[in-house]
Chains A and B, each alone.
Chain A
Amino acid sequence: MEKKAVRVAYGEALVKLGEENGKVVVLDADLAGATMTNAFKKAYPDRFYDCGIAEANMVDIAAGMSTMGLIPFCSTFAVFAGRNYDQIRNGVCYPKFNVKFGFSHAGITLGEDGGSHQAIEDLALMRVLPGMTVFVPSDANECYQCVEAAAKIDGPVYIRTARLATPVYDPRPFTVGKGDVIRDGSDCVIFTCGIMLEHTLEAVDVLAGKGVNAALVSFHTLKPFDEELALSYTAKCKKVFTVEEHSVIGGLGDAVASAVIGHGVEKFMKIGINDVFGQSGKPLDLLKEYELTGPQIAEKILKNL
């Protein structure tokens, strides 16, 4: 299967968007070679602004540029969502300015750079901001769709992308705020987002081998959240598991919990980073260490069914 990092798709999507929409400008903070905005820089050098190693300033510059009718896409590492949070909150979201954030290298699969650089809290930070749309594309194709959709939304949008090359699935129909049923099932439901799609798909296969018919639902949009779909699969399956490459606090698991609490849930379990920081290592070794590989997810679900 073809593999491509979601961040690479982000860079490609920006180039395509730049071709279609002259208002799009791209800002980076000296990480263009990592966030993959260098593709845009090469294609449209006069629409690319390097803000230097000053992420907070980048966000407020984008805020100011948006007031002149431009559509700025800010790019840096997801871990800096904390560093420029005040600017995202007060500079962009509070006045509802039209600024997009494409933050890459999210989660533990960032790998060797270690825990200081592995964002496990960005989704929690972004979900809580009024008016923010939060995208977590699961693969390259979904990332193209998220970037295209972001430019059409009048207001702040956060797009979380990953460093690691991951499988590219056939494109699915895309609607902002709607989840996708990847596998139908009835014994339990797994809700997931982002690149954990690969590992939850493997978990579903492992479970099938053990006679458990699990449904799998992937959400590219954490906010606005598709509560209707979460509720319908909860009603159908009763046993609910959430899987994300993010802290179990404040991310997908809590979005699902808020939606389905009190609606006949027999079992609810959040699988993710259990309130700890990451560490250096190879991405796949890290997934294993934090028990997020397909077989480990399946084992957890089996134990808790």
Chain B
Amino acid sequence: MDIQTLEATARQVRRDIITMTAAAGAGHPGGSLSSTEAMVALYFDVMNVDPKDDKNPDRDRFVLSKGHSAPALYGTLCERGYFGREEFDHFRQLHGILQGHPDTKKCPGVDASTGSLGQGISIAVGMALGAKHTGNKCHVYTIIGDGESQEGLVWEASMAAAHYKLDNLTVILDHNGLQIDGSNDEVMSLGDIKAKALAFGYDVIEVADGNDMKQVLDALHAPACKGKPRYIILNTLKGKGVSFMEGQVGWHGKAPNAEQAAQALKELEG
């Protein structure tokens, strides 16, 4: 798919994120907006998936380890054709398929239930190991957060990914630098995350602007490194695309009111 179309899709997903969170009066817009390019690139250009055949065993798998960025995933899945826009009205609502955090039992296209941080990457490692075991040629992608990387389980999973030589696994770090209580450095510094990923045995690609569709695509399409799991650092901007949310820690888990939503949607036109 051409870059312009993908960028337009990312803009639409951003509008979906605003629409959804505003309607629900809750949700996590900040980290959804920072990871939008990655999810759109995966579902529209990189992964072998088909919404009409969403249980096909050979499909590529995606696990949103930072499950609170569900609005970006739901927007992407909707635009890709997994379900209709009417589901947005029921985001975070009773009996809705779009739960506060992704639920594989309820939402088509969701391969693991996530939200308890650290677990998604570990489940993705299990999927990649299971794929190797069964001879399934699929590739497994997971997006983790930088705040999430404070969870020890992320590193247990990373150690196992390298140990089992999972070159069918791509871990994508949405590195927007912010978490609920402040910046990563204020809360619990990640240190040299690239050096850490390398030391854990990943083949690492760092993307200077993780909200630049071309740069994201180049990284995701880079040929696999035999015998090594891939780790892509996306340097992103929390709240990307909405001027008053960009780089603001306060928009981690707060929905825009009607007026703010209208302004955000206006900024995301075109």
Instruction: Name the distance in Å between A74's Cβ and chain B's nearest Cβ.
Output: 11
Q: Which of A83-91, A227-235, A270-278 contacts B (4 or more CB under 8 A)?
A: A83-91
With A and B bound together, what is the CA distance between A52 and B137 in angstroms? 26
> Does chain B have a CB within 8 A of A67?
yes
With A and B bound together, what is the CA distance between A282 and B126 in angstroms? 39
Question: Given that A52-B159, A95-B104 are known contacts, is A68 also in contact with B136, CB under 8 Å in the complex?
Answer: yes
Instruction: Name the distance in Å between B106's Cβ and chain A's nearest Cβ.
Output: 10
Q: Are A62 and B126 in contact (CB under 8 A)?
A: yes
With A and B bound together, what is the CA distance between A69 and B124 in angstroms? 14
Q: Are A94 and B119 in contact (CB under 8 A)?
A: no
Q: Which of B22-30, B83-91, B109-117, B210-218 contacts A (4 or more CB under 8 A)?
A: B109-117
**Which of the listed residues A25, A68, A95 has the most CB atoms from chain B within 10 Å of its own CB?**
A68
> Does chain B have a CB within 8 A of A51?
yes
With A and B bound together, what is the CA distance between A67 and B56 in angstroms? 12
Instruction: Name the distance in Å between B111's Cβ and chain A's nearest Cβ.
Output: 6
Q: Which residue of B lies closest to A27 (CB)?
A: B126
Interface size on B, residues (CB 8 A): 32
Question: Given that A61-B129, A62-B126, A91-B116 are known contacts, is A67 also in contact with B111, CB under 8 Å in the complex?
Answer: yes
Q: Are A61 and B126 in contact (CB under 8 A)?
A: yes
Instruction: Name the distance in Å between B32's Cβ and chain A's nearest Cβ.
Output: 20
Q: Are B57 and A60 in contact (CB under 8 A)?
A: no
What residues on B are CB-neighbors of A51 within 8 Å? 160
Q: Which residue of B lies closest to A69 (CB)?
A: B134
What residues on B are CB-neighbors of A62 within 8 Å? 126
With A and B bound together, what is the CA distance between A94 and B103 in angstroms? 8
Q: Are A60 and B119 in contact (CB under 8 A)?
A: yes
Q: Are B122 and A60 in contact (CB under 8 A)?
A: yes
Which of A54, A67, A87 has a CB less than 8 Å from the CB of B160? A54
Question: Given that A69-B134, A87-B119 are known contacts, is A52 also in contact with B125, CB under 8 Å in the complex?
Answer: no
Question: Given that A56-B122, A86-B116 are known contacts, is A68 also in contact with B127, CB under 8 Å in the complex?
Answer: yes
Which of B113, B129, B136 has a CB less than 8 Å from the CB of A95? B113
> Does chain B have a CB within 8 A of A70?
yes
> Does chain A have a CB within 8 A of B157?
yes
Q: Which residue of B lies closest to A67 (CB)?
A: B127
Taking CB atoms and an 8 Å cut-off, the chain A residues in 232-280 that contact chain B are: none
Q: Are A64 and B128 in contact (CB under 8 A)?
A: yes
Q: Are B156 and A56 in contact (CB under 8 A)?
A: yes
What residues on A are CB-neighbors of B123 within 8 Å? 60-61, 63-64, 67, 91
**Which of the listed residues A47, A52, A64 has the most CB atoms from chain B within 10 Å of its own CB?**
A64
Q: Which residue of A lies closest to B157 (CB)?
A: A57
Q: Are A69 and B116 in contact (CB under 8 A)?
A: no
Instruction: Name the distance in Å between A97's Cβ and chain B's nearest Cβ.
Output: 9
Q: Are B126 and A65 in contact (CB under 8 A)?
A: yes
Q: Are B113 and A57 in contact (CB under 8 A)?
A: no
With A and B bound together, what is the CA distance between A275 and B122 in angstroms? 34
With A and B bound together, what is the CA distance between A109 and B57 in angstroms? 45
Q: Which residue of A lies closest to B134 (CB)?
A: A68
- A interface residue count range (under 10 / 10 to 19 / 20 to 34 / 35 or more): 20 to 34
Q: Are A91 and B119 in contact (CB under 8 A)?
A: yes
Q: Are B113 and A94 in contact (CB under 8 A)?
A: yes
With A and B bound together, what is the CA distance between A63 and B123 in angstroms? 6
Instruction: Name the distance in Å between B150's Cβ and chain A's nearest Cβ.
Output: 15
Question: Given that A54-B160, A60-B126, A61-B160 are known contacts, is A68 also in contact with B115, CB under 8 Å in the complex?
Answer: no
Q: Are A54 and B156 in contact (CB under 8 A)?
A: yes
Question: Given that A61-B122, A87-B119 are known contacts, is A67 also in contact with B112, CB under 8 Å in the complex?
Answer: yes
Which of A52, A61, A69, A95 has a CB less than 8 Å from the CB of B57? A69
Q: Are A96 and B105 in contact (CB under 8 A)?
A: yes
Q: Are B157 and A70 in contact (CB under 8 A)?
A: no
What residues on A are CB-neighbors of B159 within 8 Å? 52, 54
> Does chain A have a CB within 8 A of B96?
no
Q: Are B126 and A64 in contact (CB under 8 A)?
A: yes
Question: Given that A64-B127, A94-B113 are known contacts, is A87 also in contact with B133, CB under 8 Å in the complex?
Answer: no
With A and B bound together, what is the CA distance between A63 and B130 in angstroms? 10
> Does chain A have a CB within 8 A of B131?
yes
Query: Which residues of B are interface residues toward A (Cβ below 8 A)?
Result: 57, 61, 103-105, 111-113, 115-116, 119, 122-131, 133-134, 136, 152-153, 156-157, 159-160, 163-164
* 22 A-B pairs whose Cβ atoms sit less than 8 Å apart in the complex: A47-B133, A54-B156, A57-B125, A60-B123, A60-B126, A61-B122, A61-B123, A61-B129, A62-B126, A63-B126, A64-B129, A64-B130, A67-B111, A68-B134, A68-B136, A69-B130, A69-B134, A90-B116, A91-B122, A94-B103, A94-B113, A95-B104
Query: Which residues of A are interface residues toward B (Cβ below 8 A)?
Result: 25, 47, 49, 51-52, 54, 56-57, 60-70, 86-87, 90-91, 94-96
